Structure 1
Amino acid sequence: MNQRMRLKPLFHPGRLLITPTTLASLRANGIPVISVALRHVTGDWGIVSGEDREQNDISINVGLRLLSIYRLPDGEKVWVITEWDRSQTTIQLADDTPVRHAPARQAGVRNWRPLPSLPGNSQWPC
């Protein structure tokens, strides 16, 4: 019995951004960027604490910031953060220097790239 699973997004991620180091790390681990984004928007919060998981579930309905954390095969952690107003979702390594989230027209965003379209739908263990 072959059944296709249909993933239902729980929220709109807004503009998708990724750091260059995160993109390189995902590629080195063979993880398609789109699979990270899909896990996040469908409510797979990864390895966040139980408290953060509950907060995310509440935040979907009341409009607060959302956080997912995924462990890559090489042990690095990837954070996925969606802003409270759903204007943007940032994918970054836990070790990346935090950058103030700002509209794209401001200079601080130059280190961020829009999420590329990559083929693939693989999952990886977390």
Structure 2
Amino acid sequence: MSKKPLFKLGQVVATVNALTFANQHQIDLLGLLQLHHIGDWGNLCSEDKDSNEEALISGGRIFSSYQYETDKIWIITEADRSLTTILLPIDY
């Protein structure tokens, strides 16, 4: 894992559900975004982590998942790096 940004985020957006959940649980979304940006993919299986590593080379979609008590927060950067979305699984 690097401490430098590994890819472009593009426009960053968040769903209302993600913002509400983060506010209720005092979660630092900018901190999570920074983790995603430097390659800390959160709670992913090795196959999904490998997919992210390949996406850094091939330009595919990058996915992170951070587990909290009652839910997960997902961060997805699109393959073309134009958009990064912070969301809950129910938003997908």
Specify if TM > 0.5.
yes
Give the equivalent residue in structure 2 for 1:60: 56
Q: Distance in 2 between matches of 1:95 and 1:36?
A: 19
* Superposed displacement of residue 75, structure 1: 2.5
Counterpart AA for 2:82:
S
Please, which of 68, 78, 88 is the counterpart of residue 83 of structure 2? 88
Alpha-carbon RMSD: 1.3
Give yes or no for the alignment of 1:23 onto 2:19: yes
Please, which of 28, 41, 47 is the counterpart of residue 45 of structure 1? 41
1:4-23 correspondence to structure 2 within 5 Å: 7-23=3-19
Q: Name the count of aligned residue pairs.
A: 91
Q: Distance in 1 between matches of 2:3 and 2:46?
A: 23
TM-score by length of 2: 0.92
Q: Distance in 2 between matches of 1:75 and 1:43?
A: 24
Q: Distance in 2 between matches of 1:78 and 1:32?
A: 11
Please, which of 71, 75, 79 is the counterpart of residue 74 of structure 2? 79
Larger radius of gyration: 1
* Superposed displacement of residue 50, structure 1: 0.6
Q: Distance in 2 between matches of 1:94 and 1:70?
A: 11
Could you say what secondary structure the match of 2:90 adopts?
A: coil
Moved over 2 A (4+): none
* Superposed displacement of residue 7, structure 1: 2.9
Higher helix fraction (1 or 2) = 2
TM-score by length of 1: 0.68
Q: Distance in 1 between matches of 2:25 and 2:50?
A: 29
